[in-house]
Structure 1
């Protein structure tokens, strides 16, 4: 009898183990699973949005993956986003457990934090200080920094990649902490991009073992756990920058030497918002992350696409020359009169979304959609790349064609039913997790797109040995949860002497705006400013 009991126990255990990783009948369909692993063996370790999109074409706009006993749901349609991520945002606004992210930020990164009291405090504060009216107050420094970007491109166009990064970082540093970065070599700028590169490597889907699924991996010794070393390096780099800036800003407030930046307001209202030092430091850090890397990635993709599609430039010139002319620089008030420039911005979002899989959500309650059950605690990926590259929705989706947005606000095929489209784009996320800095970001994207088209031509660089144009690779992008084109060559030329003269003049006029944000700079930065402004 003992032998029989043991045999039945073994059979029961084997059957239970065999079921782990299998797809429950109520789930959306998906790739075949194998025992224990589910789909872990085929989960892409890099550039996951490509494989997710291939599976979407096979299994539909909602499908599931099994990662051991856990469930991942991938949605690849505007209708699914509208229903699940926007209308049911109260349920789907959570984030999945993320050991690596929590190990780096202590669970206080607003973008990745779980749905709870601390996240609500951070979100409420961010929305209070990043309102459309508050953003308008910071427009002067955005315009000034966009002017310097034109000036930098005029003087050393070959360094465009880093000029763009400096611009995006300096804007958000000025707006958030009241301290600008006049050069790419400014310590805070280089420190940020070094820390951000580590952070993106840490967050890349599929790049590390499934620690949240297999908690015993947390106990693996450091010498066999490269992700632990990466976490430590990332945490150290972030904290040195974010809390150093916070302390500097706090000192400025105590001395009464304020310049109107966001963190000054947060420091003065910290009790009202319920923010301790840790929350203040990571809120400021998230604003820098959100305003630096995403904006620079978008603008680098814009340059890449303009280089590859000269006919888009020509159409942009026609519109901007008609509306603006060559006697002044564009202004944010010109945007309503520039529909093709707006279309270029929308098409860049569509063609090369900065976050091709957004940031994964998790649902706090079980949900039903199209007859399928999404279990409580499932990880939900919004496949932005797949949505924007769906050939059933967009005509020739692999072509950069802003004209599609001149025909209708969604850029979709003619006569396509768009009633389930919630808005024109999903580049800034969805539901309660939508980016609170989207108004600030939109101003940067529109200002610089107008400026780029008004001031410059973007063409292929020429090989000095062969004399042949150097093609640009539209798929050469960095890995990570946020993607940007790898450094590439192109030829940037000012459109005329008159344009160059206006850029020089506007740069000189912007100096008083810059000076408000140039306290406590390094000796190297001070020397550079003196040489540049002679």
Structure 2
């Protein structure tokens, strides 16, 4: 006991002296570095980072101990450093906690190394536009169930959206769906994802990368090590379990066309280990589930908060689609106001306010400043999207701005370096510059640009049209006072992502005929669901059978 107390005291003194030494260095930087403030770690930094951008300019530096962080708050800086110089800016910062959890196998946050390259090669091979089109039937069917769920239990809309986003990528990735939010895979996924996000949230754990000696603290005094092990165990249990089911289907000749079945069959071609394969599937599932859910929840939030926007959207949808049929994906091109709402939500409330951090693998110079090898690069999406020099009343939700100009900017703004893909990260974008509908960021990038853009776009387009066509959204009502319950438009931090917290609203079908069409469409979708329900648990199969008994 005495030895343990002495060790604890010694460790505490070392930590204290180290922190004092670092505190004396706060704000001190080399002469060639971009200017910046004296800094301390921040819990939710994007508001402060944007304030500093107005003070120090579009590129400035932060000193976090000996580590250099460079914040970019202009499209021109992003294009030059992250796109044109992607050969030296596509790394990720070192994360001891992430590596301890995943063994360095998570593609979204992996360093720019052989592991990332082999996983990226496999992702590019299977996430093709042609493959995405093949999976449209199940994506449309899941969107139909989301409408049906809104119709039957609208008070659970927040969970229904989560079920939808998870079930789409689970079906496409692994050939197995989640017909209800309580399905084993859905519960396991959202539980481990929340643990993972909490682990990575800024300030939630000790700064091990800043204080390297913490790596050597015994686990009994380092609860973050126990948390890393538990999160890693939960990830492997879920990801490798789903992979095993895919491997067995491939072995037995019972494939249903999922992405991971193709990866399993081509694993030797890609040069992948089983561990890399398991984490590839998990990374794809994480990337698509959380961001899609947050984006769709934000759509509902804005429709509730801005009834005039909802009214105009309905007028447009009714003029193009009418009331005699459900929306089709092809209708999106004829709905400019709905497209504008989509873009304005992404501008006003980006799901990743600081994107995902990059790191440099060599010294770079920009605007006369040194960006040293090993520096962390942050894209301040929030600051760019809320810049009053670029946008009229940037804090105001106003989709009309995108009807007046392609990027929603003020007259006279030079948009040469603008692109909507900033919400998907940065890197070599190639043909993606020509695409204009970008709802959300997924955590995988071509030289860090998102690999699943078309899949994400399809989800947002289908569901936005369905929501506006099918339902009226309004404020919930306080049962005691009968007063409308206000909604909170501020984004809530979820690790490196943001999204709306659960909120109350009222959702009702726009007419009895539309409700009937939703029910008919859901019945017609059942045949599409069946191939993805063969591996459900007995409990889930019983629930599915009971919920559909009235349809047979």
* 2:202 is the alignment partner of 1:205: yes
Give the structure 2 partner of residue 426 of structure 1.
422
Give the structure 2 partner of residue 241 of structure 1.
238
Match of 1:490 among 500, 505, 512: 505
Q: Residue 206 of structure 1: CA displacement? A: 3.2
Give the structure 2 partner of residue 219 of structure 1.
216
Q: Residue 466 of structure 1: CA displacement? A: 0.3
* 2:175 is the alignment partner of 1:150: no
Residues 319, 338 of structure 1: 8 Å contact kept: yes
Match of 1:191 among 188, 193, 196: 188
Are residues 504 and 20 of structure 1, via their aligned partners in 2, closer, same or farther at CA, if it must alter by over 3 Å? closer
Q: Residue 400 of structure 1: CA displacement? A: 1.6
1:311-345, Cα deviation, whole Å (9 max, x unpaired): 11111101100000111111111111111111111
Give the structure 2 partner of residue 27 of structure 1.
33
Residues 478, 486 of structure 1: 8 Å contact kept: no
1:279-311, Cα deviation, whole Å (9 max, x unpaired): 100000001001100100111111111111111
Q: Residue 516 of structure 1: CA displacement? A: 1.2
Structure 1 unpaired stretches of 5+: 1-13, 33-38
Are residues 16 and 455 of structure 1, via their aligned partners in 2, closer, same or farther at CA, if it must alter by over 3 Å? closer
- In structure 2, distance between residues paired with 1:180 and 1:17: 51
Residues 491, 498 of structure 2: 8 Å contact kept: no
Residues 153, 160 of structure 1: 8 Å contact kept: yes
Q: Aligned with 1:213: secondary structure? A: coil
Give the structure 2 partner of residue 4 of structure 1.
none
Match of 2:375 among 375, 378, 388: 378
Match of 1:253 among 250, 272, 286: 250
Q: Aligned with 1:193: secondary structure? A: helix
- In structure 2, distance between residues paired with 1:87 and 1:182: 44
Give the structure 2 partner of residue 98 of structure 1.
95
- In structure 1, distance between residues paired with 2:25 and 2:288: 45
1:25-76, Cα deviation, whole Å (9 max, x unpaired): 11111113xxxxxx3xx2202x221221121122111111001111001111
Structure 2 unpaired stretches of 5+: 1-19, 428-446
Match of 2:471 among 447, 456, 462: 456
Give the structure 1 partner of residue 46 of structure 2.
49
Are residues 142 and 223 of structure 1, via their aligned partners in 2, closer, same or farther at CA, if it must alter by over 3 Å? same
Give the structure 2 partner of residue 118 of structure 1.
115
Are residues 389 and 367 of structure 1, via their aligned partners in 2, closer, same or farther at CA, if it must alter by over 3 Å? same
1:100-156, Cα deviation, whole Å (9 max, x unpaired): 111111111111111111111111111111111211111111000000000000000
Residues 27, 36 of structure 2: 8 Å contact kept: no
- In structure 2, distance between residues paired with 1:462 and 1:80: 46
Are residues 507 and 103 of structure 1, via their aligned partners in 2, closer, same or farther at CA, if it must alter by over 3 Å? same
Q: Residue 248 of structure 1: CA displacement? A: 0.9
Q: Aligned with 1:294: secondary structure? A: helix
- In structure 2, distance between residues paired with 1:357 and 1:116: 23
* 2:294 is the alignment partner of 1:288: no
Give the structure 2 partner of residue 71 of structure 1.
68
Match of 1:82 among 59, 79, 96: 79
- In structure 1, distance between residues paired with 2:314 and 2:258: 35
Residues 21, 69 of structure 1: 8 Å contact kept: no
Match of 1:511 among 514, 526, 534: 526
User: Paired residues, what number?
Assistant: 511
Q: Residue 228 of structure 1: CA displacement? A: 1.5
- In structure 1, distance between residues paired with 2:68 and 2:42: 16
- In structure 2, distance between residues paired with 1:482 and 1:289: 12
Give the structure 2 partner of residue 10 of structure 1.
none
Q: Residue 246 of structure 1: CA displacement? A: 0.2
Q: Residue 476 of structure 1: CA displacement? A: 5.5
Match of 1:356 among 353, 356, 367: 353
Q: CA RMSD in A?
A: 1.6
1:406-457, Cα deviation, whole Å (9 max, x unpaired): 1122111122111121x12411111010110111111101111111111111
**TM-score of the pair, normalised by structure 2:** 0.90
Match of 1:324 among 316, 321, 324: 321
Residues 349, 491 of structure 2: 8 Å contact kept: no
1:481-530, Cα deviation, whole Å (9 max, x unpaired): 11221111011111111110110011011111100100121222112211
Q: Residue 478 of structure 1: CA displacement? A: 3.7
1:176-215, Cα deviation, whole Å (9 max, x unpaired): 0000000000010011011111111111223322211221
Residues 473, 505 of structure 2: 8 Å contact kept: yes
- In structure 1, distance between residues paired with 2:114 and 2:152: 49
Are residues 268 and 510 of structure 1, via their aligned partners in 2, closer, same or farther at CA, if it must alter by over 3 Å? same
Residues 23, 65 of structure 2: 8 Å contact kept: no
Are residues 359 and 17 of structure 1, via their aligned partners in 2, closer, same or farther at CA, if it must alter by over 3 Å? closer
Q: Residue 224 of structure 1: CA displacement? A: 3.1
Relative to structure 2, which stretch is displaced further, 148-157 or 80-89? 80-89
Q: Aligned with 1:493: secondary structure? A: strand
Q: Aligned with 2:507: secondary structure? A: strand
Give the structure 2 partner of residue 6 of structure 1.
none
Q: Residue 18 of structure 1: CA displacement? A: 6.3
Give the structure 2 partner of residue 8 of structure 1.
none
The 5 Å alignment of 1:344-423 reads: 344-421=341-418, 423=419
